[in-house]
């Protein structure tokens, strides 16, 4: 299951890239800017403001999934058993079904369309998410086929998956972009549900396999944006021999509006960080000899 294919990205990996967003993630980070990536199932975005009152959704509803009320159209999410009923029915795009079970051949054809840009810029395709390694079979098929066609593959991962899922794909992946959120296992688990023992095991296995990795730390106020935590994470990374680059990613709240469209609360209320606020950590990491940038 994927939920988006984004072309001409210059952020997630080298050169110009197409990003394939896999749907489903083992973590539940409260600051997640793609909340529609978390569930392994379909989601429905509903943007009431766009509704033009055509009633198509009410007509299609079998179980009062969408109803007309005095305030306009109302969505009753608990009644939705078959989200695909509502795919492409809204002329105003007020309703969007998020998620698509992809066909490897069809997707490959799409990804190959940008080949000229990959070749000219040393770019390629990046698997992001969600967590690509949480759908190991399809991901592996896609990575193998891209590799066969000479297209570079990068994977953005939280590593909170069984090692076997990663190991099978190593030979087909050119760049590992690892989102490391914390090294305090208790805090990580309490806030994101993550399993640091498993993440650490996978990090060390990648090191043992001599796989170069880029580490990306989302720097989040109230979670890891403080000197003690950031120094602890950087000190920890300093013990590795396979880190190609470290990216410090300042917290932003770009995904906030999506929570409302999913009928969820954005509980993470805090100000975005400026790049300059991460400078002290950039200096600290550089002094350790880690090639570090803010952003990435
Ligand atoms: S189909 Fe879209 S535009 Fe029409 S009533 Fe439903 S939400 Fe509104």
CA nearest ligand 1 atom 6, residue: 57
With contact defined as beta carbons under 8 Å apart, do 28 and 134 qualify? Answer: no
Instruction: Tell me the C-alpha distance between 90 and 254, whole Å.
Output: 25
Residue 267's pLDDT band, with cuts at 50, 70 and 90, is confident
Give the residue-averaged pLDDT of 51-58.
97
CA nearest ligand 1 atom 8, residue: 51
Give the residue-averaged pLDDT of 37-49.
97
CA nearest ligand 1 atom 1, residue: 90
Q: What is the mean pLDDT of the chain?
A: 96
Residue 165's pLDDT band, with cuts at 50, 70 and 90, is very high
Give the residue-averaged pLDDT of 97-111.
95
Among 49, 50, 51, name the best residue to mutate to test ligand 1's pocket (greatest count of ligand atoms within 8 A of Cβ). 51
Distance 128 CA to ligand 1 centre (A): 31
For residue 92, the model assigns a pLDDT of 98
Q: Indicate the fold that domain 2-39+100-294 takes in CATH.
A: TIM Barrel (3.20.20)
Distance 262 CA to ligand 1 centre (A): 16
- In ligand 1, which atom is closest to the CA atom of 48? 7
Lowest mean pLDDT among 78-82, 204-208, 252-256, 261-265: 252-256
pLDDT value at 269 more than 80:
no
Residue 253's pLDDT band, with cuts at 50, 70 and 90, is confident
Distance 268 CA to ligand 1 centre (A): 30
pLDDT value at 70 more than 80:
yes
Residue 74 dihedral angles phi and psi, to the nearest 5°: -120, 140
For residue 284, the model assigns a pLDDT of 98
Lowest mean pLDDT among 192-201, 218-227, 241-250, 270-279: 270-279
Give the residue-averaged pLDDT of 49-73.
96
CA nearest ligand 1 atom 7, residue: 51
pLDDT tens digits for range 145-154: 999 999 999 9
pLDDT value at 270 more than 80:
no
Among 44, 45, 55, name the best residue to mutate to test ligand 1's pocket (greatest count of ligand atoms within 8 A of Cβ). 55
Residue 12's pLDDT band, with cuts at 50, 70 and 90, is confident
**Structural domain boundaries in the chain:** 2-39+100-294, 43-98
- In ligand 1, which atom is closest to the CA atom of 54? 4
For residue 254, the model assigns a pLDDT of 84
3-state SS record for the chain: CEEEEEEEECCCCCCCEEEEEECCCCCCCCCCCCHHHCCCCCEEEECHHHCCCCCHHHHHCCCCCEEEECCEEEECHHHCCCHHHHCCCCCCCCEEEECECCCHHHHHHHHHCCHHHHHHHCCEEEEECCCHHHCHHHHHHHHHHHHHCCCEEEEEECCCCCHHHHHCCHHHCCEEEEECCCCCHHHHHHHHCCCHHHHHHHHHHHHHCCCCEEEEEEECCCCCCCHHHHHHHHHHHHCCCCEEEEEEEECCCCCHHHHHHCCCCCCCCCCCCCHHHHHHHHHHHHHCCCCEEECC
Ligand 1 is surrounded, with C-beta below 6 A, by 51-57, 66, 73, 89-90, 92, 94-95
Distance 93 CA to ligand 1 centre (A): 8
CA nearest ligand 1 atom 2, residue: 90
Distance 33 CA to ligand 1 centre (A): 26
For residue 2, the model assigns a pLDDT of 97
* CATH class entry, domain 43-98: alpha beta
pLDDT value at 255 more than 90:
no
Distance 168 CA to ligand 1 centre (A): 45
Distance 56 CA to ligand 1 centre (A): 6
- In ligand 1, which atom is closest to the CA atom of 52? 3
pLDDT value at 256 more than 90:
no
Has this prediction a pTM greater than 0.85?
yes
Question: Tokens 């023992």 — which residue?
Answer: 197
Distance 209 CA to ligand 1 centre (A): 53
């Amino acid at each position: 299951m994927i939920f988006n294919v984004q072309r001409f990205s210059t952020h997630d990996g080298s050169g110009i890239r197409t990003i394939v967003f896999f749907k489903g993630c083992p973590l539940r980070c409260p600051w997640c800017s793609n909340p529609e990536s978390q569930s392994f199932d379909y989601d429905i975005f509903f943007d009431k403001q766009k509704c033009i009152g055509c009633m198509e959704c009410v007509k299609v509803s079998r179980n009062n999934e969408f109803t007309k009320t005095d305030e306009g159209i109302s969505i009753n999410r608990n009644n939705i058993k078959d989200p695909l009923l509502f795919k492409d029915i809204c002329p105003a795009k007020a309703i969007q079904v998020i998620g698509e079970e992809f066909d490897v051949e069809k997707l490959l054809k799409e990804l190959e369309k940008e080949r000229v840009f990959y070749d000219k810029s040393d770019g390629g395709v990046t698997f992001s998410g969600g967590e690509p390694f949480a759908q190991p079979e399809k991901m592996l098929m896609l990575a193998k086929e891209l590799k066969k066609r000479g297209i570079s593959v990068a994977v953005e991962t939280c590593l909170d998956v069984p090692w076997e899922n990663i190991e099978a794909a190593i030979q087909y992946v050119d760049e590992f972009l690892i989102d490391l959120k914390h090294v305090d296992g208790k805090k990580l688990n309490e806030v994101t549900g993550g399993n640091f023992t498993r993440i650490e095991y996978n990090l060390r296995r990648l090191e043992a396999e001599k796989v170069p990795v880029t580490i990306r730390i989302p720097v989040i106020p109230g979670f890891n944006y403080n000197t003690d935590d950031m120094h602890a994470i950087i000190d920890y990374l300093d013990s590795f021999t396979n880190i190609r680059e470290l990216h410090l990613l300042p917290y932003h709240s770009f995904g906030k509006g999506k929570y409302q469209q999913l009928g969820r609360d954005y509980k993470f209320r805090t100000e975005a960080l400026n790049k300059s606020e991460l400078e002290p950590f950039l200096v600290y990491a550089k002094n350790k000899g880690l090639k570090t940038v803010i952003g990435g």
